[in-house]
Amino acid sequence: GEDVEQSLFLSVREGDSSVINCTYTDSSSTYLYWYKQEPGAGLQLLTYIFSNMDMKQDQRLTVLLNKKDKHLSLRIADTQTGDSAIYFCAETVPGGYNKLIFGAGTRLAVHP
């Protein structure tokens, strides 16, 4: 079955690193995504990783994928107040016509 789980809340100090974790159940996932939702805004694609990769880095963002454990993480280096948002993990599976299967979202709060 298809299920994506995330912890609901994370609080970090400005300048520290944030690590948001996600687990998924479908081993046939093709792509895994991280979306960001700021207050009053839609979902913005932050980054994605293909299922045959184990790491992807994009400026302050690092995505790690452990396919054996079906675990995905997003690390934000030097977290800023502008990073405060809800972060959603999502996957697509073969034959799904790119429909996204989301987790419940992790609310990241950055404090001074």
The single residue among 11, 44, 57, 80 that binds another protein, judged by CB under 8 A, is 44
Q: What is the 3-state secondary structure (H, E, C) of 38-55?
A: CCCCCEEEEEEEECCCCE
Does 102 engage in binding with another protein (CB under 8 A)? yes
Nearer to another protein, 65 or 90 (CB): 90
Nearer to another protein, 64 or 96 (CB): 96
The DSSP call for residue 26 is -
CB 42 within 8 A of CB 35: no
Nearer to another protein, 71 or 99 (CB): 99
∠ Cα 40 43 46 (to 5°):
125
The single residue among 40, 82, 94, 112 that binds another protein, judged by CB under 8 A, is 40
Q: Pattern of binders to another protein over 78-97, x per CB under 8 A?
A: ----------x-x-----xx
CB 73 within 8 A of CB 19: yes
> Which amino acid is it at 78?
D
The residues binding another protein (CB under 8 A) are 4, 8, 35, 40-45, 88, 90, 96-105
